[in-house]
Structures are given as structure tokens and as C-alpha cells.
A and B are shown apart, each in its own frame.
Chain A
Amino acid sequence: MIEVINLSKSFDGKKILKDVSTVFNKGQTNLIIGKSGSGKTVLLKSIVGLHTIEKGDVVYNGNSFVSMGSNEVRLLRQDMGMLFQGSALFDSSTVEENVRFPLDMLTNSSMEERRDRANFCLDRVNLTNVNHLYPSEISGGMQKRVAIARAIALNPKYLFCDEPNSGLDPKTSIVIDELIRELTQEYNMTTIINTHDMNSVMGIGDKIVFINGGVKQWEGSKEDIFNVENEALEDFIFASELFREVRAFNRKK
């Protein structure tokens, strides 16, 4: 479980996050939604410690991130996996080397064991016969899957995904979403996903946190989201023609 307590963050005097508090539960896919520029990525990067926490705290299974020493942070991070918006695969390494990287750096297992684990993770994300290809030689969807395989290589307790569907077609997006959901349940991870894709919200949103202008304006489940009376959230949800039509259809009924 990850607890965010009164988290605030500014850049050059401009407040990006304002006293955000919420709880992300284990074994669930927790979604942070909001418009572009609403502070979702800053929130996610503050949670994982890529941005220094200015005010407030993030508590990982009862351990305060702010009070941790550098060694404790290093150990905590070995329990984290992260999928970045652009996949963040190492260009000069092959697919297998990318997935093996955390194993090479953080485990003492033999080369054979590390290879086996990398192959297992690649199989798990349904990628075969791509081990010796470079990231530039595979599609965007495959790159995302390689990044997921790398993120789960060390059996993490926490999985963070920043816009996992950006740049992907709707069908591949669903595949990635389902994969993240399956892995979350399989590894019993606490998964936090940043997204502005309403298909993801409706597909895998066990818990949803809506951020607007750096403020948490709403949290709840996908079942509740259509009944909320919040202008910003309504604007966000019904920005799509499809969802507007669904609303109109439901009202007619």
C-alpha cells in the first residue's frame, strides 16, 4: 500500500501539486487521471522520488519515504518497477539486455539464470524471438511490452506506469492495459498508472484519482465516475464524442 499525505511540489515558484492526499491499494490498478499539464506526471515522479518531495510525505507499507536514508531509498527502489511514457529502453542494448539489465546490476545469479529470467519475463508479456533486436527495430507496442518485462524482472512490489498507452493504437492499448492488470494481480503489486485515456479508466480502473490544476478533486471507482457532479471531471470524461453519446443514451433510458 502507498499512502500519499499532503504532497506539494513547486517548480520555479509555481505550485504544481497542492496538498494531494490519497491511498493506493495493493493488488489493484490505481489510476491517476487528469488533463495534460494537470500535474499527474509530477505526482507520479514525486511518489517514486524522481522529484524531491517539497512538503508532505509518501508512505510505503508504513515506511515514510521522506525519513528514509539513501541506502533505504536504494533498497526500496529495488522493489519498484516503472514503465515510462516513451518506454525509456536503452538504445544501445538489445531487447534481452534491456530486460536483463536490473538482473545484471542487482542480483548475484549466474548468466544462465539471468537469461532464463529475462526470457521468462519476455514470454510473460507475449514477446518471442525478439531477444537480439534493438529497441529501434521493434514497434511502439512491443517497446512498451519490453519495458514492462524489464519492470517486472525483479518481482517488484510496486509498479508505476506513466501514460502506458501514449502513441499506441486502441487495440494495442487494450492489450497493454490488460497485461498490466494481469501482472498486478499475479504479483499482488501496488500499481499506479497515469493516464488520460478513458478506455483505460473504464477497463482497468480499480481506483481512480482525478487531478485538476495540481489539486485532487475526486477519487473513487469506475462505477461511480459517471455519477459525479464535478464540472472539471465531467469536462474530462465527456471530452470524447463517444462518451457524450453514451451519456445521452443513458439519459434517454
Chain B
Amino acid sequence: MFYHLGRYVLFLIRVIGRPQKHRVFFTQIVREIDKLGINSLGIVVIISAFMGAVVTLQTAYNIDMPFIPRYTIGLAARDSILLEFSSTIVCLILAGKVGSNIASEIGTMRVTEQIDAIDIMGINSAGYLVLPKVVAMVFITPILVLISMGIGIAGGYMSGSLSGEVSPAEYIYGIQYAFRPFYIVYSLIKAVVFAFIISSVSAYWGYYTSGGALEVGRASTRAVVTSSIIILLFNLLLTQLLLA
């Protein structure tokens, strides 16, 4: 573990170097935002809508007591979505989708000597390939999390009102009740940290792949597993630091 930790730190030092050509760098960032972020919008929307719907229904079924006001369903759904689901769960999903994409793309470039071809030209391959992905993910993930929050709450509204478990007025009152804007800031801070973890850890596994197609697959699996575990660890740490 310490071997990988040390090598990961050295890798990050190489990644966070001055870009060779700013023009190329910004073009790559835009491309990566599209590839890693915009292309993930569909899955984020679907997951968030169902997540919000299920959280609302589960909350409604579990607080089926006359002395608890119905608007608490909206309140509980809002807090669950803002604090945990939209940041952590969406980022875990992104660790699977984007993380495996990054690791397999860079891993394939490694085993087909494309990375060697970049190095031989005197170009910092780690910086050229990885930095735009990290910057793009750090930029786009908070936006995806914000979208997820909106869709999640809308999904809760739809399921609550269609099932008749909570009236639209009660749900809207609940999601506004005792609202703390810091919850959104907290979620966005987590999104930025998780985005960095997903992109850099996945790139690390891809960059140090050696062998062939089998190893690229292994690197992809390692990228998803490692970044998911680190996300859960940092989730605990950030919750303790920011909400305690």
C-alpha cells in the first residue's frame, strides 16, 4: 500500500506541472468535460430521479404516525438528497463509469506504447493526458451534483404526489423547512474532492498498467474499487470535519 501511495504522490507531482501548450490544454479540458461530464448526464438524471422517488416513499412509509407532520417527508428527503445521495452516491456511480473509462483509456495507451511515444517527444505525458481530465472532472462534477439535487427533489415530489403519500403543498413546505444553505456548500466541497479522487486515482492505475488487454481490464477494476473505497473514507472524514 505504501508503495502505491508513494508512487501516487510522485505521479501527482508530474501531473500538476505547467501545461506544455495552454491552447492545447484548454481544448483538451473542453473535450474532457464533454466526454466525462456531459456524457454522464443521462445516468446522473436517471439515478437521481429514482433515488429521490424511493427516498421519499421510504420516508413516507416509515413515519406513518399521526403526530409526525407530513411535511417531514419532504424535509427528510431533501436532507438525504442534499447531504448524501447527490454527492456520495452520484460520485460512486461516476467512479464506476468515468473511473473505468479513464483507467482503460490511459491503460490502453500505455500498453500500445502511445504514452512512450509522447514521452519520447519530450512532452510530459502524465501532465498532457491526466491534468485536463482532473480539471474537467473537478469543474463538471459539482455541476452534475447540483443537477442531481434538483432532479432528486423533483423525483421525490413526483413519487410523493402520485402515490398520494404526501401532498404537493406539504412536500414543498418540507423541502423549504429549516433549510441550511451550507448543506449545498458541504455537498459541493465533497463533489470537488471526490472528482479529484476519481480522476487522479483512475489515471494512476491506467498510467502504470503493464502487459496487455487483461492488465488493462484489471487496472480498470482496480481504479473503480480503489476510488470507491477512498471516496467512502473521505466522505467520513469530510462529514466529521464540516458538519460536526
Chain A interface (Cβ < 8 Å from any Cβ of B): 45, 48, 50, 73-78, 80-82, 84-86, 88-91, 101-102, 104-106, 150, 154, 160
Cβ contacts under 8 Å, A73 to chain B: 122
Cβ contacts under 8 Å, B113 to chain A: 84-86, 88
Q: B199-210 toward A: CB 8 Å interface, digit per residue (1/0)?
A: 000000000000
In the complex, A45 Cα to B210 Cα: how many Å? 15
Say yes or no: A48 contacts B120, CB within 8 Å.
yes
Cβ contacts under 8 Å, A84 to chain B: 113, 116-117
Say yes or no: B20 contacts A105, CB within 8 Å.
yes
Say yes or no: B120 contacts A104, CB within 8 Å.
no
Cβ contacts under 8 Å, B242 to chain A: none
User: What are 9 A-to-B residue pairs whose CB atoms are below 8 Å?
Assistant: A50-B119, A74-B122, A77-B119, A78-B122, A80-B120, A85-B113, A88-B117, A91-B108, A105-B121
Cβ contacts under 8 Å, A80 to chain B: 120-122
Say yes or no: B117 contacts A77, CB within 8 Å.
no
- Within B1-45, the residues touching A (CB, 8 Å) are 20-21, 24
In the complex, A233 Cα to B56 Cα: how many Å? 77
In the complex, A101 Cα to B129 Cα: how many Å? 13
In the complex, A73 Cα to B123 Cα: how many Å? 10
Say yes or no: A88 contacts B122, CB within 8 Å.
no
Supplied contacts A86-B113, A105-B121, 10 more A-B pairs, CB within 8 Å: A45-B116, A50-B119, A77-B121, A77-B122, A85-B113, A86-B112, A88-B116, A91-B112, A106-B122, A154-B121
In the complex, A81 Cα to B112 Cα: how many Å? 17
Whole-angstrom distance between the Cβ of A106 and the nearest chain B Cβ = 7
For chain B, give the interface size range.
Answer: 10 to 19
Cβ contacts under 8 Å, A82 to chain B: 116-117, 120
In the complex, A102 Cα to B114 Cα: how many Å? 13
Cβ contacts under 8 Å, B109 to chain A: 90
A105/B123 contact (C-beta < 8 A), A82-B117, A84-B117 known: yes
In the complex, A90 Cα to B110 Cα: how many Å? 11
- Within B88-125, the residues touching A (CB, 8 Å) are 108-109, 112-114, 116-117, 119-123
Cβ contacts under 8 Å, B117 to chain A: 82, 84, 88, 150
Among A81, A102, A105, the one with the most B-chain Cβ atoms within 10 Å of its Cβ is A105
In the complex, A91 Cα to B112 Cα: how many Å? 10
In the complex, A101 Cα to B20 Cα: how many Å? 12
Cβ contacts under 8 Å, B119 to chain A: 50, 77
Cβ contacts under 8 Å, B123 to chain A: 105-106
Q: Which residue in chain B gives the minimum CB-CB distance to A48?
A: B120
In the complex, A88 Cα to B110 Cα: how many Å? 10
In the complex, A20 Cα to B131 Cα: how many Å? 38
Say yes or no: B116 contacts A102, CB within 8 Å.
no
Say yes or no: A104 contacts B121, CB within 8 Å.
no
Q: Which residue in chain A gives the minimum CB-CB distance to B128?
A: A105
Whole-angstrom distance between the Cβ of B123 and the nearest chain A Cβ = 5
In the complex, A106 Cα to B122 Cα: how many Å? 9
Cβ contacts under 8 Å, B121 to chain A: 77-78, 80, 101-102, 105-106, 154
Whole-angstrom distance between the Cβ of B13 and the nearest chain A Cβ = 12
Whole-angstrom distance between the Cβ of B113 and the nearest chain A Cβ = 4
Whole-angstrom distance between the Cβ of A241 and the nearest chain B Cβ = 32
In the complex, A76 Cα to B120 Cα: how many Å? 9
A105/B21 contact (C-beta < 8 A), A77-B120, A77-B121 known: yes
Instruction: List 5 tightest A-B contacts by C-beta distance, closest first.
Output: A77-B122, A88-B117, A88-B113, A74-B122, A84-B113
Q: Which residue in chain B gives the minimum CB-CB distance to A76?
A: B122
Whole-angstrom distance between the Cβ of A11 and the nearest chain B Cβ = 11
In the complex, A82 Cα to B119 Cα: how many Å? 10
Among B20, B24, B114, the one with the most A-chain Cβ atoms within 10 Å of its Cβ is B114
Q: Which residue in chain B gives the minimum CB-CB distance to A78?
A: B122
Q: Which residue in chain A gives the minimum CB-CB distance to B23?
A: A104
Cβ contacts under 8 Å, A106 to chain B: 20, 121-123
Whole-angstrom distance between the Cβ of A87 and the nearest chain B Cβ = 9
Whole-angstrom distance between the Cβ of B100 and the nearest chain A Cβ = 17
Cβ contacts under 8 Å, B21 to chain A: 104-105
Q: B127-139 toward A: CB 8 Å interface, digit per residue (1/0)?
A: 0100000000000
In the complex, A48 Cα to B112 Cα: how many Å? 17
- Within B121-165, the residues touching A (CB, 8 Å) are 121-123, 128
Q: Which residue in chain A gives the minimum CB-CB distance to B31?
A: A92
Whole-angstrom distance between the Cβ of B110 and the nearest chain A Cβ = 11
Among B20, B24, B113, B128, the one with the most A-chain Cβ atoms within 10 Å of its Cβ is B113
